[in-house]
């Protein structure tokens, strides 16, 4: 008998009451960590019960311990429940989510997974594995929200390896029924469909399959760590609660790594406010040439389409073990392709006690060699985003440089899924902004109030 690795279970949820909220889509939002200030205001205007008021409420002048975005989220939650805007389901269920999307370089795809409860595991157990580092400020923010509201409003996006597609085959059965939600998100043009799966046999098949599989956190490391901290605090306060206490579990959106629609996008870097007097352009040029082959793709004025096509084709055509980066520099009518000359020499130069797989991740070559050693941005400045911004949008990155708003755009290839597994299995963590799983599952589909009598 195989040892149980993870416990994944259907659950009772709190969700929007269709009698009160017939247009569920208007109450949904992107996850909290990808919402700009402008988008936050747009969600506030979109509907008086939009989930933004729970996951990322406005900050106000004079906020203090008794009145702040977290206490206001708790008040909103209590009010919506008392008014019947939110109500409970009675039967434990999984929630099947399918997202259909189209991207210029990829085409049209669908990705499907399910939302369920997963028993929290300490990282040391090797059962639930992270792959990215976290930062103190967003961790403290999510912990304050969790402790103020006693609820989970968003789901950790995680992946598992089910080579036999057992779970996917069960999820496909849900499509025979009418979806609870069929919503085309205006901003992204992603179509979101949601079904409820409550058949006991189907749920049992998912539980049996998932109990033998490790789970890898794709997106939501801060929320997972916040729940681990909250769980430990609740254990100390309520030692009698036992292993079935609601804070022992976390909501996850789980997707099979073998699903053909699973998409990881690169996160590009935009450099700004660099003090080129500290390190002149000639020094930067020499530093690049010492470690990289450089190829340029010239164009005249705005007539860059042919050069851009060739540049992107060559950038994307990177064999295993070849490390390529694209660059556009303000004021220069050419794209650059820079390719690491010698990966072995780079590894020897990097005096870091890490595996070869970790050192040779494109994001680490970019951070340690290009940004730190050549450009001169320190690790502390990188963490604080002093001179660096991030975007998954290639067009946004290039336009920011063409318009003179940013000095340099550094364009990356996407991190391979197998590299993510290798790093996580080895107990290492990638730098922040190493991966961007797309599209994001919308927040507001279901909530999990951590209550003993639910």
Query: Is residue 62 one of the residues assigned to a domain?
Result: yes
Q: Which H or E run contains 75? A: helix 69-82
Beta bridge pairs of residue 9: 117
Mark whether 132 and 257 lie in a shared domain: yes
169 or 452, which is more confident: 169
Helix axes of 166-173 and 200-210: crossing angle, nearest 10 degrees: 160
Task: With a cut of 50, say whether residue 284 has pLDDT above it.
Answer: yes
Residue 454 maps to a domain: no
Which phi-psi region, left, alpha or beta, contains residue 109 (left: φ > 0; alpha: ψ -120 to 50)? beta
Q: Are residues 171 and 76 in the same domain?
A: yes
User: What's the pLDDT band for 406 if we cut at 50, 70, 90?
Assistant: very high
Same structural domain, 211 and 280 = no
Same domain, 116 and 20: yes
pLDDT digits (tens, 9 = 90+) for 151-165: 999 999 999 999 999
Q: Which residues contact 380 (CB under 8 A, 6 or more apart)?
A: none
Q: Give the least confident one: 83-97, 290-304, 321-335, 408-422.
A: 290-304
In a domain, 426, yes or no: no
- Compare 52 and 303 and report the one with higher pLDDT: 52
- pLDDT category at 283 given cuts 50, 70, 90 is low
Same domain, 290 and 259: no
Pair 127, 59 in one domain? yes
pLDDT at 351: 76
Is the same domain home to 150 and 180?
yes
Mean pLDDT value across residues 279-296:
77
Is 97 contained in some domain?
yes
Residue 1 lies in a domain: no
Residue 277 has pLDDT above 70, yes or no: no
> Is 424 part of a structural domain of the chain?
no
- Percentage of residues of the chain with pLDDT beyond 70: 96
pLDDT score at 236: 97
Q: What is the mean pLDDT of residues 320-346?
A: 92
Same domain, 136 and 271: no
Q: Are residues 16 and 58 in the same domain?
A: yes
Same domain, 131 and 144: yes
Identify whether residues 256 and 277 lie together within a single domain.
Answer: no
Residues 185 and 258 in one domain: yes
Q: How many alpha carbons lie under 13 Å from residue 138 in its C-beta half-sphere? A: 17
Q: Does position 369 have pLDDT exceeding 50, yes or no?
A: yes
Domain tally, the chain: 2
Percent of the chain with pLDDT over 90: 76
Two tokens, residue 30: 């992107």
pLDDT exceeds cutoff 50 at 1: no
Whole-number Å distance between alpha carbons of 443 and 35: 11
Q: How would DSSP label each residue in 387-410?
A: SEEEES-HHHHHHHHHTTSSSEEE
d(CA 310, CA 297) in angstroms, rounded, equals 8
Give the per-residue pLDDT at 376.
85
What does the pLDDT average to over 389-405?
93
Mean pLDDT of 25-46: 96
Given a cut of 60, whether residue 2 has pLDDT beyond it is no
Give the domain range for residue 236.
8-263+438-449
In a domain, 102, yes or no: yes
Res. 321 pLDDT band, cuts 50 70 90: confident
85-94, 100-109, 312-321 — most confident range: 85-94
Residue 427 lies in a domain: no
Q: Is 187 helix (H, G, I), strand (E, B) or coil?
A: coil
Average of per-residue pLDDT values in the chain: 92
What residues contact residue 234 under an 8 Å CB cut-off, 6+ apart? Answer: 241, 245, 247
> Residue 377: pLDDT band by 50, 70, 90 thresholds?
confident
pLDDT band for 453, please (50, 70, 90 cuts): low
Looking at residue 302, its pLDDT comes to: 67
So what's the pLDDT on residue 279? 53
């Amino acid at each position: 008998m195989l040892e149980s690795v993870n416990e994944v279970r259907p659950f009772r949820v709190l969700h929007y009451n269709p009698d009160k909220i017939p247009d569920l889509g208007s109450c949904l939002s992107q996850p909290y960590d990808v919402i700009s200030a402008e988008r936050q205001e747009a969600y506030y205007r979109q509907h008086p019960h939009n989930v933004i008021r729970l996951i990322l409420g406005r900050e106000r002048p004079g906020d203090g311990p008794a009145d702040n975005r977290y206490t206001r989220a708790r008040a909103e939650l209590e009010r919506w429940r008392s008014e019947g805007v939110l109500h409970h389901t009675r039967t434990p269920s999984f929630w099947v989510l399918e997202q259909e999307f189209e991207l210029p370089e990829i085409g049209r795809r669908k990705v499907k997974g399910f939302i369920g409860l997963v028993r929290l595991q300490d990282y040391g157990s090797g059962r639930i594995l992270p792959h990215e580092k976290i930062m103190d400020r967003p961790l403290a923010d999510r912990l304050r929200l969790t402790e103020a509201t006693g609820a989970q409003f968003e789901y950790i996006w995680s992946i598992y390896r089910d080579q036999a597609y057992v779970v996917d085959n069960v999820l496909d059965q849900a499509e025979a029924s009418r979806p609870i939600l069929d919503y085309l998100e205006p901003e992204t043009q992603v179509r979101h469909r949601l079904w409820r799966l409550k058949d006991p046999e189907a749920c049992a098949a998912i539980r049996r399959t998932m109990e033998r599989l490790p789970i890898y956190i794709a997106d939501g490391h801060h929320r997972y760590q916040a729940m681990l901290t909250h769980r430990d605090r609740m254990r100390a306060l309520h030692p009698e609660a036992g292993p079935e206490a609601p804070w022992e579990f976390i909501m996850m959106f789980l997707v099979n790594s073998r699903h053909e629609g699973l998409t990881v996008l690169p996160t590009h870097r935009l450099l700004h406010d660099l003090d080129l007097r500290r390190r002149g352009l000639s020094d930067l040029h020499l530093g690049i040439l010492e470690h990289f082959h450089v190829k340029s793709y010239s164009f005249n004025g705005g007539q860059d389409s042919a050069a851009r096509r060739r540049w992107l084709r060559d950038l994307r055509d990177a064999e295993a073990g070849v490390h390529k980066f694209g660059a556009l520099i303000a004021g220069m009518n050419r794209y650059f392709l820079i390719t690491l000359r010698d990966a072995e020499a780079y590894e020897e130069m990097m005096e870091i006690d890490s595996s070869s797989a970790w050192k040779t991740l494109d994001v680490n070559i970019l951070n340690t060699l290009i940004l730190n050693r050549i450009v001169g941005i320190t690790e502390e400045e990188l963490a604080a985003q002093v001179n660096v911004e991030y975007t998954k949008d290639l067009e946004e990155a290039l336009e920011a440089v063409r318009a003179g708003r940013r000095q340099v755009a550094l364009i990356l290839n996407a991190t391979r899924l197998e590299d993510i597994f290798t790093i996580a299995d080895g107990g290492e963590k990638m730098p922040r902004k190493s991966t961007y799983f797309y599209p994001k599952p919308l927040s507001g589909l279901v909530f999990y109030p951590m209550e003993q009598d639910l």
